[in-house]
Amino acid sequence: MVSRMPFAPLVAPLAKPVQVDPDQCFALPETLGLDKARSLLLGRARDSWRRPGDLESAAFFEEPTLVHLPVWRVAVHAEGFHVGVSMVSIPSGRNRTVPLPIPTGGTESRDVVVLSSGRRLFASDPTPALVIPQERMVSLAHAELSGLRAEPDVPGEQAERDSIARVKSAMRPSNALYARAETTVKGRALVYVPLWWMRYRYDGEAVPGVGQEFFTAVDGTFGRVVGESHPSAFRAMVGKVKRLIAR
């Protein structure tokens, strides 16, 4: 039987959170209420094609939790140049082709916004799915944050270094023989993003052995799914087939 014991705290306090200049701290507004969040989160877990046939009897859902996660938003300008070789195929007669190397390269200019979590140890990293428009950011001093607030443990300087490395890597094509990129950080901000988080335990036919913990998360500003983990869809399908055969 699935355990109904309380879940572990979603946000653990930090002994020494990173101190950030208040002028660099912002928040996204909360626009998604508890009822709407609950409907979205449960809908993802109970998706008709993916869910196990015994989900309702073998799962224990916690109440959705609102967490404000600190996310570093770093604006980077990059000027790059690369030289490479690309292979193309040209006809050679008798329905054959011959590979021919073609030189590639050129200059490139980018303005990029890179998002990275300001909290190292968290249930999951939602930043790849997040959107933080600058026009929606409000000063943290004037924001009212309900729910839980996760403090940062990643310094802004580290976020800048990581952002620059990601931009430079993206500007180096896989076929590049030589690549160079000059970057300039145009600005950085620590933005508290509202996330509705719901965990559930499942101990049924779609997991091997003992029960496991899963989750779904949506952002509290736009209502977009930013992270999820569910029982194996393949195992769930096998379980459903077995049920049909056993009838």
Please give the C-alpha separations between residue 218 and each of 65, 105, 116, 197, 235, in angstroms, as whole numbers.
11, 40, 17, 7, 25
Whether the pLDDT of residue 166 is over 90: the answer is yes
In whole angstroms, give the CA distance from residue 101 to residue 85.
6
Domain boundaries, given as residue ranges, for the chain: 27-246
pTM of the model: 0.87
pLDDT in tens, 33-82: 999 999 999 999 998 788 998 999 999 999 999 999 999 999 999 998 88
Measured between alpha carbons, how far is 146 from 169 in angstroms, rounded to an integer? 38
127 band by pLDDT with thresholds 50, 70 and 90? very high
Q: What's the mean pLDDT when you consider all of the chain?
A: 91
